């Protein structure tokens, strides 16, 4: 049963600008996300924008926005086929369980100026 749906659009320039602010990427992104994205230059910035949109979409899907979990507690990764998935830890995992979530579906996309993500949370 679907418990929540979240969608978010991020302007890529916002994420691009963050690289000029010391410590901001580390505040918002999991180390594994940064290790994957930063060496890829501009393509990596697009990837980070989509991942940030996914985190915001997750917050919308559970109905809390970004208030009840740390963004670093959500890691948006890719499987061996490139399919994105979320790994939740700490406050994000607790918020997901409190919401009654048991499964999550994630879709992301990006173009030159914008990134978008949709999160669907299912429960029993």
Annotated domain spans of the chain: 2-122
**pLDDT at residue number 17:** 93
* pLDDT confidence tier of residue 67, bands split at 50, 70 and 90: confident
Distance between CA atoms of 113 and 117, rounded to whole angstroms? 14
**pLDDT at residue number 112:** 86
Looking at the predicted structure, is the pLDDT value of residue 51 above 90? yes
**pLDDT at residue number 55:** 97
Average pLDDT, the chain: 94
Residues 6+ apart with CB under 8 A from 119: 4, 5, 6, 7, 54, 57, 58, 60, 61, 86, 104, 105, 106
**pLDDT at residue number 28:** 93
The CATH class, in words, for 2-122 is: alpha beta
E strand or H helix at 116, and its extent? strand 114-122
Structure tokens at 121: 């949370």
Give mean pLDDT, residues 52-65: 94
**pLDDT at residue number 12:** 97
Q: Over the stretch 75-98, which tens digit does the pLDDT of each residue have?
A: 999 999 999 999 999 999 999 999
Q: Kindly report the backbone phi and psi dihedral angles of residue 106, in degrees, each rounded to the nearest multiple of 5, phi listed first.
A: -130, 135
Residue 120 near residue 114, CB atoms below 8 Å: no
pTM passes above 0.95: no
């Amino acid at each position: 049963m679907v418990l929540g749906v979240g969608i978010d659009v991020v302007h890529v320039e916002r994420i691009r600008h963050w690289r000029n602010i010391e410590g901001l990427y580390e505040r918002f992104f999991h180390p594994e996300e940064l290790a994957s994205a930063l060496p890829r230059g501009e393509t990596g910035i697009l990837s980070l924008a989509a991942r940030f949109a996914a985190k915001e979409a997750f917050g919308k899907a559970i109905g809390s926005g970004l208030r009840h979990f740390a963004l670093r507690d959500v890691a948006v990764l890719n499987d061996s086929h490139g399919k994105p998935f979320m790994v939740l830890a700490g406050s994000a995992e607790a918020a997901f369980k409190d919401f009654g979530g048991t499964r999550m579906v994630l879709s992301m996309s990006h173009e030159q100026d914008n990134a978008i993500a949709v999160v669907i949370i299912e429960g029993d």
